[in-house]
Amino acid sequence: MEKNSFIDLLFERAKARGLEELEVFINRKEELTISVFEGELETYKLSEEEVLSLRGIYENRMGYSYLEKLQESSIYELLDNLIQYARVNEEEADQLASELEFKDEILALSLEEYSQADKLSYVLDLEKKALAYNPAIKSLSRCSYRELKDSLLIKNNLGLELSSTSSRGFLSLGVIAQEDGAMETGYSHLIIDDLKEAYKDELMERAAGDALAMLGAGPLSPRKIRVILRNNVASDLMANFLSMFYATSVQDKLSPLEGRLGSVLASELISMKEDPRLRRGKVYRGFDDEASLAEEKTLIDRGRLLSFFHNRKTAKKAGLKSTANGFKPSHKASIEVATTNVFFEKGDKSLEELMELMEEGLVVTEIHGLHAGINPVSGDFSLSANGLLVEEGRVVRPISKITLAGNLLSMLGEVQGLGSDLIFSNPASVYFGSPSLYVGELDISGK
Amino acid sequence: MLSRSLIEDILNQALALGGDYAEIFVEDNFTTEIATLGGQLQRGMSGRDFGVGIRIFKGLSSVYGYTNDSSRESLLALTKKIAQPLGGSGDMEPAYLKEVRPHIHPFKVAPSKLELEKKLAYTKRAFRAAMDYDELISQVRVNHLDQDQRVLIANSLGELAEDRRVKTRMLINVAAQQGSLIETGYIGPGAMKGLEFYDEISIEDYAREAARNAKTMVLADYCPSGNMPVVIDQGFGGLMFHEACGHSLEASSVAKDQSVFSGRLGQQIASELVTLIDDGSIVNAWGSLGVDDEGLRTRKNTLIEKGILKGYMIDRLNGRRMGMEATASARRQNYRFAPTSRMTNTYIDNGNSTREEIISSTPRGLFAKNISAGSVNPATGDFNFSLSEAYLIEDGRIGRPVKGATLIGNGAQILKDVDMVANNLQIGQGYCYAASGALFIGAGQPTLRVKSMTVGGRG
């Protein structure tokens, strides 16, 4: 059924069932993934989907529901689910936003200029070059291109109509190196808006560089040791801890940052910002899912905590204005607090300069176990890690099979050096950018 | 869900455009997922997923497309688009469709038949029991989720399967606070059943167990670091073997020679005490299915028997690369994913020791009572996982609780280092995240001991 006539029909039926205010959220996604293995197309995936999420006010309570098949016969169940939710919702509803029209659009236009065949040969060439990068590179665990075009329409019966379209490409490379029976891996990814040759080099240097550097790695005995979290590690770690800055976590007493607003939280080297319209970001949005207009903001300014991430509900509770962080994680979820493109501002040191500053210690190049080894309620973490042992400011040998443990907040307070090498975490989850951080001492365990 | 003639036309077209195998997956899923905090509904909703996925193979290349527009024009157009990179024409005919009989998992109360209000009432019981457990309990989150997933899978080999996967689960997360210290305890009972599941278990007992875990941990010291014997308790502790060796036995890594266990069938890869099984047919178990997502009736697969590698978990595409038959191990989160080899209910089988014998014969070590989650690099076999409840073992007895412990090791090594296995097998419920999405899985084991592991902590 055509989208606009479906919405009109839905609004009409909703009114007849006693729903005063109603808002639809329609997300259309077109996606293409190409991956290759040993010079051949391995998988090719193409999709088009259009899904609908609904919220509305019934007897002064908000209700929610969703649907993936836009057809007339589904409307009854859709409204019924919404009303059932509203009936058990104990919280009084706030009015929906009204009378705003807004449209933003950013397309990765250059990607649209390439044919499917161009994209396939680009990935095949990346595979060929990665395999030829070094004789120790025996195989690739991943070599793929993905593009996504995302269109959103938010429309309600109070005159609100917002739309946004954006598109982006994504390359990822996983490398397996083998030497003397030892097997090591490396991984890299990049959000792109064009198929540049330079991206291949960047991906190879990072993925192959890591796999090769780890060959011959061994553990280190338990100790306290000075640590540099390399850019990819710092950004992954922060991405997984970012929820402690969400006003929902703070208000639900599930964040160690309760009562810390305005206080010094981190070393003065640390400033944290969010830019919802970052070029080559995970998201490009001029508004959030509650029609709050979004702009760049500073959360931590030279170590001082200035703000949490708010949606309308948490902001109202705190007596503040929404920071335009009211997002639905998917069409099946109601509005929560979520972020767009958040990052630590970069410093001016290269990784080599940070190593010289540290003199003796460990550069952590890889961490695992983030989905379980961190406690966002306390800031504690205990993760498995790989890295490079540094003596007299230089790398002496690779280290693997160790655990790394500490507390995020104490660690941020101890940051003594900031790299200039800002990099973002995987856009599949929370998107966070960080340069390499020299963080002082952490605990490690190993054989 | 789709007419036979449309299914046949799509399969026909896929083969005519150069495919040598074609498959259709249709999904209609009524789901409810709600989150409560402090006994109040906080977020979530009920709704219906619907979509169709089409997959075509040509040799070792695979193309996949999906859409939620199930009209004839849309599906035939999609088939044509995804077949394009296969480049060519074929003369194969799809075989006549014959029905595959799924493994039956009976249920009574379908998720769409119970009002949201009643589902919410179950979560409130858990909230109340956890909150009343102790003064230190500061916050209780209870989530409920259910699904009534109907799927139709048909392929050009002539197999047509329909399956209905009804699942119900409650996740209880309890925080205990002392001063500014907050620790959490968690439990998540679930089954391949309808809402009757909640009347068959004691929700209150589960809630109190999560509260007990939270209280124990908030009073615990940090775990010390070092190498020591580790005793892992019965139940979801089996997740360690899911991570440590299960993933490395999936054809998705074995087929490309990218697993430590590639090419090792018939070899002794584990201690003789280790028998590892993956069984998607266990009646009403959380990780079970009637048929897998390629339409094969689920079954019990023995992966390791008394230390000898007996088999892998194989999907059709990787089966081609390996020259081996599929094992009813293909799974996907929903129609948005092409299926690949994944685990269902994976467990270490019973041994002959008892839990008491294992603990009393361990002078010093770590007792892992509950584990939260872990991950593995299938190429190297290096894994990690973190413990949500652990104790030191001192002089053959369970001693003081410790928090913040992480265990790391290598899958190939740990299999050899299992030196005692008890006879108290239990299977717990969880999720697994990998290439074909988030899946419901069972993981289990009897209490067992690993002679030495690296324990990481801050103490």
pLDDT at A99: 74
Give B401's contacts (C-beta < 8 A, 6+ positions apart). B216, B217, B219, B220, B221, B389, B390, B391
B385 — pLDDT class (breaks 50, 70, 90): confident
Give the C-alpha separation, A400 to A238, whole Å: 22
* A193 phi/psi in degrees, rounded to 5: -125, 15
What is the average pLDDT value for chain A, to the nearest integer? 93
Angle at A310 between CA A306 and CA A316, to 5 degrees: 105
Which residue is it, tokens 């190297």?
B380
Residues of B in contact with A402 (CB under 8 A): 408, 454, 456
User: Which chain A residue has the Cα nearest residue B252?
Assistant: A141
CB contact under 8 A, A384 and B45: no
| B107 alpha carbon, distance to own chain's centre | 20
What are the tens digits of pLDDT across the range A226-268? 999 999 999 999 999 999 999 999 998 889 999 999 999 999 9
What is the average pLDDT value for chain B, to the nearest integer? 95
Indicate the angle between helix axes B4-16 and B72-83, nearest 10 degrees. Answer: 20
CB contact under 8 A, B374 and A372: yes
Give the C-alpha separation, B174 to B215, whole Å: 9
What are the tens digits of pLDDT across the range A396-428? 999 998 999 999 999 999 999 999 999 999 988
pLDDT at A370: 86
Distance from CA of A3 to the nearest CA of B (A): 13
CB contact under 8 A, B404 and A375: yes
Give the C-alpha separation, B459 to B455, whole Å: 11
Count of Cβ atoms closer than 10 Å to residue A312 Cβ: 19
What are the tens digits of pLDDT across the range A43-60? 999 999 999 999 999 999
- C-beta separation of A272 from A343 below 8 A: yes
The alpha carbon dihedral of A292, A294, A300, A301 has a sign of negative
CB contact under 8 A, B48 and A67: yes
Nearest to A380 among B64, B78, B404 (CB): B404
Mean pLDDT confidence for B330-345: 97
- C-beta separation of A424 from A241 below 8 A: no
Give the C-alpha separation, B288 to A38, whole Å: 35
Give B41's contacts (C-beta < 8 A, 6+ positions apart). A85, A88, A89, A90, B34, B35, B120
In the three-class reduction of DSSP (H, G, I as helix; E, B as strand; rest coil), residue A385 is classed as strand
CB-based contact, B402 to chain A, within 8 Å: no
pTM: 0.91
Distance from CA of B166 to the nearest CA of A (A): 19
Give A 100-129 residues with CB within 8 A of chain B. 116, 120
Check whether A373 has a pLDDT greater than 90.
no
Mean pLDDT confidence for B316-335: 97
pLDDT at B459: 67
Distance from CA of B352 to the nearest CA of A (A): 31
CA dist list (Å): B50 to A6, A280, B29, B68: 17, 32, 6, 6
Give the C-alpha separation, B403 to B219, whole Å: 9
Among the ranges A113-117, B85-89, B309-313, which has the highest mean pLDDT value? B309-313
In the three-class reduction of DSSP (H, G, I as helix; E, B as strand; rest coil), residue A119 is classed as helix
Mean pLDDT confidence for A286-296: 91
Both structure tokens of A335: 């509005």
Nearest to B45 among A42, A50, A332 (CB): A332
CB contact under 8 A, A406 and B458: yes
The alpha carbon dihedral of A198, A200, A203, A206 has a sign of negative
Residues of B in contact with A317 (CB under 8 A): none
A182 — pLDDT class (breaks 50, 70, 90): confident
- C-beta separation of A131 from A137 below 8 A: yes
CB contact under 8 A, A405 and B48: no
Interface probe, candidates B36, B52, B62, B68, chain A, greatest A C-beta count within 10 A: B68
Residues of B in contact with A410 (CB under 8 A): none
Give B132's contacts (C-beta < 8 A, 6+ positions apart). none
CB-based contact, A368 to chain B, within 8 Å: yes
Give the C-alpha separation, A37 to A55, whole Å: 44
pLDDT at B192: 98
CB-based contact, B333 to chain A, within 8 Å: no
CA dist list (Å): B182 to A31, A254, A255, B403: 42, 8, 9, 12
Check whether B105 has a pLDDT greater than 80.
yes
Give the C-alpha separation, B152 to B97, whole Å: 12
B396: left (phi over 0), alpha (psi -120 to 50) or beta: left
What are the tens digits of pLDDT across the range B4-41? 999 999 999 999 999 999 999 999 999 999 999 999 99
pLDDT at A100: 77
CA dist list (Å): B198 to A302, B169, B445: 51, 9, 24
Give A80's contacts (C-beta < 8 A, 6+ positions apart). none
Give the C-alpha separation, A1 to B410, whole Å: 54
- C-beta separation of B372 from B387 below 8 A: yes
Q: Kindly state the percentage of chain A with pLDDT values over 90.
A: 78
Give the C-alpha separation, A142 to A204, whole Å: 12
Give A309's contacts (C-beta < 8 A, 6+ positions apart). A245, A246, A247, A274, A299, A323, A325, A337, A338, A339
DSSP A333: S
Give the C-alpha separation, B183 to A375, whole Å: 8
CB-based contact, B117 to chain A, within 8 Å: yes
CB-based contact, A30 to chain B, within 8 Å: no
Check whether B334 has a pLDDT greater than 90.
yes
B194 — pLDDT class (breaks 50, 70, 90): very high
CB contact under 8 A, B70 and A45: no
In one-letter notation, the amino acid at residue A414 is: E
